[in-house]
Structure 1
Amino acid sequence: MGLVVAVTGAGSGLGRALAVRLAADGTRLILVGRRAGRLRETRDACVAGGGKAGDIVELPLDLTGPDAAAAVAEAATTAFDGLDALVNNAAQARFGALDRTGMATFAGLLQVNLVAPAALSQAVAPLLRRSRGTIVNVGSIGGLLAVPGRSYYGAAKAGLHHLTRSLARELAPDIRVNAVLPGAVDTEMYDDLGIDDDDVARLRTEMVRTTPLGRMGRPEDVVPWIVMLLGPAAAWMTGSLLVVDGGRSC
């Protein structure tokens, strides 16, 4: 039987691309996301790519809800009697200057990008201890770079990076915890940054200009590194922050 992996933010972008790749490899999946229709599209893509429909569970929920983490653990137990890996991929980005961005925005970023991954890690840790499994967090080079107008998002991702390294020590040797830190990956997230279309266009131009390899990333540039961290090649890796950014953070 294949590994059992829960992927959050599975309804689009990097999460969908990862799910399709894992399904093709025979992985049993718990697809977690806010929109049921988008999860169904991901499931269909997984099946079209060679996955088995019976090996895929769709779990539409808001990860910031009080019972969300427990629901993921329960789904893994009910459907597959366990869990081998958790990929904390769900994220939210909001950009804006300090004097134009309220604390409610900051609180929301912390809830999605930091509190939810912490709660999920806590909820599934007993299952992962049993399987000697792994957690992969999807961070961002935004948590490494100091950029005006992106301080709240960067702080939330920096917190996730610290959580990764701290839990790697706390949960060892039973559970490995690592993170992938992508640069600017061209996904639907850029359609929902809280800024107007002209600012988004300028942002995209800036991302390309400041990336040595001369383009934004694509989900398929990042997915193989997550797959590597989930598998035996990373058996002696924990606490690593793996940067995949076209050189932008150099």
Structure 2
Amino acid sequence: MSLHGKSMVVTGAGTGIGRAVARALLAAGASVTLVGRRAGPLGEAADTEGGERALVHPADIGDASGARAAVEAAVERFGAVDGLVNNAGLARFAPIERADLADLTAMLDVNLLGPVRLIRAALPQLREREGAVVNVSSVGGALAMPGRALYGATKAALNSLTRSLARELAPHVRVNAVLPGPVDTPMYGDLGLDAQGTDDLIAGLVEATPLGRFGRPEEIAGWVCNLLDPETSGWVTGALVAIDGGRSA
């Protein structure tokens, strides 16, 4: 990979896919600004591989000033931003008649407005550096999602944003998205469902996945790194890459 010496910003970097992405980038020789709400998990992720190439930056990307501050911190520490991974996400599942519309507002703020804020904040750097954005979306934004329609709608919006910005920001900035299927992350303990509902959901997802299991965060991280790398993906933009064990086949 040609990521050695690059400066990357990763949101939601304390756990799950974001943590795996940050660790993979650090292992590839990149400098990484790890962004998330909780300093503890960010620090644990940074300590694994990082050293001086890891910057822990607790921030709420639901706030425009938080997005700007994250980018500014990366530039101050590493001198540039070459890539942005919009991984932070929020999921709340419920049938439409029981869904709390406040949850929709919260999901839109994290899943759509957060990436918009960060892309805008990082855009001068990304243009100057011929950089790349990878949005971590979901196959839920491309499939019918009974009982999860509001979450799926926020990810469909992120997919549309990805494709439109790929054209709008070309040729200087590449914008792609990965669409994971069910991945073994802490998200499944925080969906707003009771224990039985969560167990039933997980069983149904495994049954609907041709490869018969949840993915691992590291399996998503490798694709994210490839899309950031100008050597492997320098002619790839506007792609929505499903990494889902065949879930969307």
2:122 alignment partner, one of 111, 124, 129 = 124
**Which of 90, 99, 116 matches 2:88?**
90
Map of 1:215 onto structure 2: 213
Amino acid at match of 1:111: D
What residue in structure 2 maps to residue 36 of structure 1?
Answer: 39
Deviations 1:44-79 (A, max 9, x none): 122xxxx3x111111101111231111122112211
Q: Residue 242 of structure 1 aligns with which residue?
A: 241
Report if aligned partners of 2:208, 2:247 keep a CA contact under 8 Å in 1: yes
Aligned-partner residue type, residue 20 of structure 2: A
In structure 2, what residue type is equivalent to 1:31? L
List aligned pairs for 1:6-17, cutoff 5 A: 6-17=9-20
Letter in 2 for 1:185: V
CA distance in structure 2 between the aligned counterparts of 1:40 and 1:72, rounded to whole angstroms: 15
Q: Retained in 1: the 8 A contact 2:176–2:240?
A: yes
* Corresponding residue SS for 1:137: strand
Runs of 4+ in 1 over 4 A off after TM superposition: none
Structure 2: any 5+ residue segments left out of the alignment?
none
Give the whole-Å Cα distance in 2 for the aligned partners of 1:19 and 1:102. Answer: 33
Equivalent of 2:139, from 125, 128, 141? 141
Aligned amino acid, residue 31 of structure 2: R
* CA–CA distance in structure 1, aligned partners of residues 75 and 27 of structure 2: 22
SS in structure 2 of the partner of residue 67 of structure 1: helix
Q: How many residues align?
A: 245
What SS does the corresponding residue of 1:148 show, helix, strand or coil?
coil
Equivalence map 1:115-194=2 (5 Å):
115-194=113-192
- Rounded Cα–Cα distance in structure 2 between residues aligned with 1:83 and 1:62: 19
Partner in structure 2 of residue 200 of structure 1: 198
Q: TM-score, normalised by structure 2?
A: 0.97
Tell me the amino acid that sits aligned with residue 117 of structure 1: P
CA distance in 2 between counterparts of 1:65 and 1:172 reads: 27
Q: Deviations over 1:129-182 (max 9, x none)?
A: 110000000010000111211011000000000000010001000000000000
Q: TM-score, normalised by structure 1?
A: 0.96
| Cα drift, residue 20 of structure 1 | 1.1
Q: Is the 2:131–2:174 Cα contact (8 Å) retained in structure 1?
A: yes
Are the equivalent residues in 1 in contact too, given 2:10–2:34 (CA < 8 A)?
Answer: yes
* Structure 2: distance between partners of 1:144 and 1:63: 25
Distance in 2 (CA, whole Å) between partners of 1:21 and 1:249 is 26
